[in-house]
Amino acid sequence: MNASASSIAPATILITGGSGFLGSRCIAQALAAGHRVRASVRDPAREPQLRAALARAGVDAGDRLSLHAADLRRDDGWSAAAAGCDYALHVASPFPAEIPRDENELIAPAREGTLRVLRAARDAGLRRVVLTSSFAAVGYGHPPRPAPFDESVWSDTAAPLAPYVKSKTLAERAAWEFVAGEGGGLELAVVNPVGIFGPVLSDDYATSILLVKRLLDGALPGTPKLHFGVVDVRDVAELHLRVMTDPAARGERFLATAGDFLSVSEMAALLRRNLGAAARKAPTRELPNWLVRLAALADPAVRQIVPDLGNRKNASNAKAKRVLGWNPRSAEEALVATARSLIELGVVRG
CB neighbour list of residue 229: distance below 8 Å, 6 or more residues apart: 135, 194, 195, 257, 258, 261, 313, 314, 315
- The C-alpha atoms of residue 145 and residue 138 are separated, in whole angstroms, by 13
- Closest by Cα among 113, 228, 89 to 167: 113
- The C-alpha atoms of residue 243 and residue 252 are separated, in whole angstroms, by 9
Give 336-340 contacts, CB < 8 A, sequence gap 24+: 336/270, 336/271, 336/274, 336/275, 337/197, 337/198, 337/199, 337/232, 338/197, 338/198, 338/199, 338/200, 338/209, 338/212, 339/212, 339/216, 339/271, 339/274, 339/275, 339/278, 339/279, 340/199, 340/275
- The C-alpha atoms of residue 133 and residue 254 are separated, in whole angstroms, by 10
- Residues annotated as catalytic (active site), given as ranges: 168
Report yes or no: 120 and 78 within 8 Å, Cβ to Cβ.
Answer: yes
- Helices 264-275, 331-344: inter-axial angle, 10-degree rounding: 60
- The C-alpha atoms of residue 13 and residue 8 are separated, in whole angstroms, by 13
